[in-house]
A = this chain, B = another copy of it.
Amino acid sequence: MPESTRRPPARRTGGRSARVRAAVLQATIDVVLDHGADGLSIAEVAQRAGVHETSIYRRWGTKSALALDAVLDRTRTDLPTPDTGTLRGDLLALLHDVAVFVRTPVGGLLLRMAVQEDLAEYEAARDQFWTARYAVGATVLDRAESRGELRPGVDRRLAFEALLGPLHTRVLLTREPLDDAFLEGTVDLLLAGLTA
């Protein structure tokens, strides 16, 4: 049955379109939390979001594009670009937000999906996810440079990897706590470096 017969006709305003998008992305997160990434079914997302399957295919095209949009939408909310006025404050905020996020159901799921090796269909989505994340780091570092806080010539991507790498190591490998001593110690070491 076409969507137009299921609901009363409505002007497609930004408001309704935004509400539909939010409902579909939330349903996508819920389905993946329930069944895993392998169990993502557009039929089930459509049913939970109360929209027609063809609407989802028309807007997102593929399951991996839908999953990527859902994850990026969530990370834009949960992992905002900080602007505290100092490089140290921004790096602490970035790292703290990730430490909280990886302990949420969505963050934990994202990590489990990411370490799987057999999800080739998500390769492009993974690259787009990290491109978006690195852009957040670059914004923070660009602002620090304009304030004169940054050593010249710092590679933005390497710096962002240096900020987040120790946290990923603790979550995925050593399972050590992400406490304040760790978060602050990691940021301060990254700022000051090792050399005398």
The residues of A with any CB-CB pair to B shorter than 8 Å are 87, 111, 114-115, 126, 130, 141, 144, 148-152, 154-155, 158-159, 161-162, 164-170, 172-175, 182, 185-186, 189-196
Contact = CB atoms under 8 A, between A and B. Distances in A.
Given A115-B115, A115-B172, A175-B126, A162 B148 contact: no
Contact of A158 (B126, B130, B172, B185): B185
Nearest to A182: B158
Contact of A194 (B159, B167, B195): B159
B174 A165 contact: no
Given A158-B186, A168-B172, A193-B193, 10 more contacts: A126-B175, A141-B194, A144-B194, A148-B196, A151-B193, A152-B196, A159-B194, A161-B165, A162-B190, A190-B193
A193 B196 contact: no
A87 B174 CA distance: 25
The A interface, classified by DSSP as helix, strand, loop or mixed, is: helix
How many monomers of this chain does the complex have?
2
B165 A195 contact: no
A153 B130 CA distance: 33
A72 B12 CA distance: 63
Contacts of A159: 189, 194
